[in-house]
């Protein structure tokens, strides 16, 4: 059971990854990203999730460098964007990300979306970066079971992480089970349903523990064995999101939250996207 913000899951290759991290989607690279990362690290966060497509890797890197915390204590994730997929272009894109972040070794590199006829070649490039020691772990994002099977069959390594939209309205039970059976760590983006938290069961459970619906959902993620990366630029909200280690949902409450599932996506469908 996760008891503290710095506690980690252990990926299939033995690398430790914090259960809770900060997501920085839509955080601007005009000083906001640097401030947001710095305040999160000050609050105790030790995992930051960015992406080339977020256009804020420079600010994220600056926030990490100026935090006063040793680089090897911060787990940094970034992603290869769709337009850069393919073998050689992925290697080039990674160098660009590494330069912007200004870090030598990235902790986790993901393929952002499964671009048709490209993601297996992109995966081959990630495997090379992993073998060469430029990344500590490699994985994918927004991959369905059939996408995962493709890279597992064609590649040398099984993805260590699959980051997907995951929340009480989209529990993706079959995908989650496949990930568990394949030793792939599931990771939730948009865990707070883009603020759509007005569900009576979340309010009721929160009242019992003196927690907000958001804290209840994040606790539920962790108890389901899912790494979670809520985004907030507000230092107070960052601390609130991290204050989920002093209570535990019972089995009935976990099941009640799971029963909210409607297979509802707030983001794009990984089998039908055009970007």
Query: Which pair of tokens denotes residue 147?
Result: 């996408």
pLDDT of residue 6: 74
Cα distance from N-terminal residue to C-terminal residue, the chain: 39
Q: Which residue do the tokens 């619906």 mark? A: 213
Q: Which residues are catalytic?
A: 54
Query: Which pair of tokens denotes residue 4?
Result: 């503290």
Map out the domains of the chain with their CATH numbers: 8-195+224-231 (3.20.20.100)
Measured distance CA(39)–CA(239) in Å, rounded: 9
Measured distance CA(199)–CA(112) in Å, rounded: 30
Closest CA to 227 of 94, 144, 108: 108
pLDDT of residue 1: 36
The alpha carbon dihedral of 61, 190, 54, 8 has a sign of: positive
Regarding pTM above 0.85, the answer is yes
pLDDT of residue 7: 87
Digit-by-digit pLDDT tens for the chain (275 residues) are 345 777 899 999 999 999 999 999 999 989 999 999 999 999 999 999 999 999 999 999 999 999 999 999 999 999 999 999 999 999 999 999 999 999 999 999 999 999 999 999 999 999 999 999 999 999 999 999 999 999 999 999 999 999 999 999 999 999 999 999 999 999 999 999 999 999 999 999 999 999 999 999 999 999 999 999 999 999 999 999 999 999 999 999 999 999 999 999 999 999 999 99
- Per DSSP, 86 falls in state S
Measured distance CA(136)–CA(263) in Å, rounded: 33
Element holding 192 (H helix, E strand):
none
Contact 119, 133 (CB under 8 A): no
Ordered DSSP codes for 5-56: TT-EEE-TTS-EEESB-EE-TT--TTTHHHHHHHHHHHTT--EEE--GGGT-
Closest CA to 106 of 139, 155, 141: 139
Measured distance CA(139)–CA(151) in Å, rounded: 10
Measured distance CA(215)–CA(228) in Å, rounded: 12
pLDDT of residue 82: 98
Per-residue exposure over 205-217, b if at least 16 CB sit within 10 Å of its own CB, e if not: bbeebebbbbbbb
Greatest CA separation found in the chain?
A: 53
């Amino acid at each position: 059971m996760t008891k503290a913000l710095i506690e980690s899951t252990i990926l299939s290759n033995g690398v430790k990854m914090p259960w809770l991290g900060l997501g920085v989607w839509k955080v601007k690279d005009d000083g906001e990203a640097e401030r947001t990362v710095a305040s999160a690290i000050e609050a105790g966060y030790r995992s930051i999730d960015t992406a080339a497509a977020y256009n804020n890797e420079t600010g994220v890197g600056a926030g990490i460098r100026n935090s006063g915390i040793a680089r090897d204590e911060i787990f940094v994730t970034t992603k290869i964007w769709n337009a850069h997929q393919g073998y050689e272009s992925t290697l080039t894109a990674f160098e660009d990300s590494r330069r912007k972040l200004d870090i030598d070794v990235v902790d986790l590199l993901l393929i952002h979306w499964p671009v048709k006829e490209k993601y297996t070649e992109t995966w081959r490039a990630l495997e090379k970066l992993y073998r060469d020691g430029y990344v500590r772990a490699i994985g994918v994002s927004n991959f369905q079971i059939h996408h995962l099977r493709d890279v597992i069959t064609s590649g040398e390594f099984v993805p260590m992480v699959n980051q997907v939209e995951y929340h009480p309205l989209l529990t993706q039970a079959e995908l989650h089970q496949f990930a568990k059976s394949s030793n792939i760590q599931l990771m939730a983006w948009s865990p707070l349903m883009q603020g759509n938290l007005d569900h009576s069961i979340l309010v009721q459970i929160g009242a019992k523990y003196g927690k907000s619906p958001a804290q209840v959902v994040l606790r539920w993620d962790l108890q389901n064995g899912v790494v979670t990366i809520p985004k907030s630029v507000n230092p107070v909200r960052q601390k609130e999101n991290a204050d989920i280690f002093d209570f535990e949902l019972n089995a009935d409450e976990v099941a009640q939250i799971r029963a909210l599932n409607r297979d509802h996506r707030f983001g794009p469908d990984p089998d039908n996207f055009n970007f």
